[in-house]
Amino acid sequence: MNIHEYQAKELLKSYNIPVPKGEVITKIEDAEKAAWKIESNIAVVKAQIHAGGRGKAGGVKIAKSIDEIRDFSEELLGKNLVTHQTGPQGKEIKTLLIEEGCNIEKEYYLAITLDRETSRVTMIASEEGGTDIEEVAAKSPEKIFKEVIDPVVGLAEFQARRLCFNINIPSNVISDTVKIMMNLYKCFMEKDCTLTEINPLVVTAEEKVIALDAKLNFDENSLYRNKDILEYRDLDEEDEKEVEASEHGLSYISLDGNIGCMVNGAGLAMATMDIIKYYGGEPANFLDVGGGASEEKVTNAFKIILSDDRVKGIFVNIFGGIMKCDVIASGIVKAAKEVNLRVPLVVRLEGTNVSLGKEILDSSDINIVTAKSMDEGAKKVVELIK
Ligand code: ADP
Ligand code: MG
């Protein structure tokens, strides 16, 4: 789960990581009041959307007067911001962070994430922080330093200091930076983050170290024990269908293709997407209905797939283990009737109660193409939508 910059900064602040003073607004009328509250000659007006690259896209504006703060707020609020992370459709700016301008001496990059190659939490830092970090990673990877963290010992202070030396943190602020690194690690672990990124982490002319931007991602599976983080969830920023699916306990991720997939089990769902692509099709979604899905769950899954106008065909690929094929079959028949099925439907069922499931499908008056194998099903659905 992703959260906004202002929320991430609130959390970092609770871990004693310095952040600029800031005010959040959602209405233009509040801009002036916010400007007075932060008591700074220079203020920065920042678009709050769940995507990075805002600076380069015009979503971060430096204002030198109250009038400018108002003007920039007016310009940004309600606008659709397209950055290299939003996709071409962009994201509507509904919230602004107005914060104290900061006297930047140098911008650094600092992050913690899980390195799947070493299976270790890893701290990453660079002296080339700021809006071009992707380019640094591509063109001068030697400027990016990593510390692999031992899960038993945790981040050791000497590792944090070594990173500071490697990225040339000025010696008089090394101890402050080490504290920030240690606290960031604490936050990462305690809040079950999958990413904590401060870009830029800046050293100011006044010799202060401050987190000027913050991006935090959380493991959704742990939200049950991080209720405070769940409060930060902004449904406006999420895909409508994904939100609906999560309410029904379905794992659904919407994609750009036109073949809707309904599958049980994440592994089979991935394999199904692969085989569709192998035959030249493009999956419209990843959907795992889970191991013990009920008829109702299947119906809901079907409705979510069909609510996507781009879907030109559906491939149901179920292996009945705990999940019984007859349950799936009656779910499909029920849903197809309710939603007035308008696209070709290919079904491959295998496993527990498979003959019962096939009987249900055959005796219904819905136009269903059955397939004996996953391979045949994928081939058929790709052909049918052509
Ligand atoms: P993004 O990463 O989405 O582009 P950032 O918050 O990192 O957005 O802002 C982009 C750049 O704007 C920063 O690298 C920094 O140079 C500048 N900036 C951001 N916030 C401030 C601030 N409070 N004071 C001064 N400069 C800022
Ligand atoms: Mg940034």
pLDDT tens by residue, 39-76: 888 999 999 999 999 999 999 999 999 999 999 999 99
Q: What is the 132 CA–ligand 2 centroid distance (Å)? A: 9
Q: Which of 365, 328, 367, 362 is nearest to 344 (CA)?
A: 367
Instruction: Judge whether residue 337 has pLDDT over 90.
Output: no
Ligand 1 pocket (Cβ < 6 Å) reads 20, 44, 46, 52-55, 60, 99, 101-102, 104, 107, 130-131, 199-200, 212-213
Which is the closest atom of ligand 1 to the Cα of 215? 2
2 with 60, same domain?
A: no
245 with 362, same domain?
A: yes
Q: Residues near 202 by Cβ (< 8 Å), separated by ≥ 6?
A: 102, 104, 105, 106, 107, 108, 129, 209, 210, 212
Question: Does residue 366 or residue 171 have the better pLDDT?
Answer: 171
**What percent of the chain shows pLDDT beyond 90?**
76
Phi, psi of 48 (to 5 degrees): -105, 100
Among residues 101, 120, 149, which one ends one of the domains? 101
247 with 365, same domain?
A: yes
Q: Would you say 31 and 52 are in contact if contact means Cβ atoms under 8 Å apart? A: no
70-103, pLDDT tens digit by residue? 999 999 999 999 999 988 889 999 999 999 999 9
340 labelled ligand-binding: no
What pLDDT is recorded for position 239? Answer: 83
107 labelled ligand-binding: yes
Q: Region 365-375: what's the mean pLDDT? A: 91
284 with 261, same domain?
A: yes
Residue having the nearest C-alpha atom to atom 19 of ligand 1:
212
Q: What is the 199 CA–ligand 1 centroid distance (Å)? A: 8
Give the helix ranges, DSSP H, for the chain: 5-14, 31-38, 66-76, 133-139, 157-166, 174-190, 227-230, 240-247, 266-278, 295-306, 325-339, 354-363, 374-385
Q: How far is CA 121 from CA 152, 189, 191, 219, 226, in A?
A: 11, 9, 14, 14, 19
The tokens 């400007």 sit on which residue?
35
Among residues 236, 254, 286, which one ends one of the domains? 236
What pLDDT is recorded for position 336? Answer: 85
Q: Residues near 290 by Cβ (< 8 Å), separated by ≥ 6?
A: 249, 250, 251, 264, 297, 323
| pTM, 2 dp | 0.83
146 with 215, same domain?
A: yes
Domains held by the chain: number: 3
CA distance 163 to 185: 14
Q: How confident is residue 290, by pLDDT bands cut at 50, 70 and 90?
A: confident
219 with 347, same domain?
A: no
231 with 158, same domain?
A: yes
Q: What is the 133 CA–ligand 1 centroid distance (Å)? A: 13
54 labelled ligand-binding: yes
CATH number of the structural domain spanning residue 64? 3.30.1490.20
111 with 217, same domain?
A: yes
Phi, psi of 9 (to 5 degrees): -70, -35
Judged by average pLDDT, the poorest of 3-17, 197-211, 289-303 is 289-303
254 with 369, same domain?
A: yes
199 labelled ligand-binding: yes
Q: How confident is residue 322, by pLDDT bands cut at 50, 70 and 90?
A: confident
What pLDDT is recorded for position 123? Answer: 98
CA distance 178 to 156: 10
171 with 309, same domain?
A: no
188-210, pLDDT tens digit by residue? 999 999 999 999 999 999 999 99
251 with 360, same domain?
A: yes
Q: How confident is residue 341, by pLDDT bands cut at 50, 70 and 90?
A: confident
The tokens 């830029």 sit on which residue?
200
Q: Region 2-26: what's the mean pLDDT? A: 97
CA distance 245 to 261: 14
Residue from 208, 210, 213 whose mutation best tests the ligand 1 pocket (most atoms within 8 A of CB): 213
Q: Region 208-236: what's the mean pLDDT? A: 94
53 labelled ligand-binding: yes
Instruction: Judge whether residue 282 has pLDDT over 90.
Output: yes
185 with 294, same domain?
A: no
What pLDDT is recorded for position 171? Answer: 97
Domain with 118, as residue range(s), is 1-19+103-236
As annotated, the active-site residues are 109, 197
Among residues 85, 101, 117, which one ends one of the domains? 101
Q: Is 379 helix (H, G, I), strand (E, B) or coil?
A: helix
Q: Residues near 117 by Cβ (< 8 Å), separated by ≥ 6?
A: none
Q: What is the 227 CA–ligand 1 centroid distance (Å)? A: 29
Residue from 9, 23, 131, 215 whose mutation best tests the ligand 1 pocket (most atoms within 8 A of CB): 131
Which is the closest atom of ligand 1 to the Cα of 129? 14
Q: Residues near 203 by Cβ (< 8 Å), separated by ≥ 6?
A: 104, 105, 106, 108, 169, 170, 173, 209
Written as six digits, the tokens of 53 are 């690259």
Residue having the nearest C-alpha atom to atom 6 of ligand 1:
213
Q: How is residue 130 annotated by DSSP? A: S
Q: Which residues pair with 81 in a beta bridge?
A: 91
Question: Does residue 133 or residue 161 have the better pLDDT?
Answer: 161
Q: Is 174 helix (H, G, I), strand (E, B) or coil?
A: helix
CA distance 85 to 242: 19
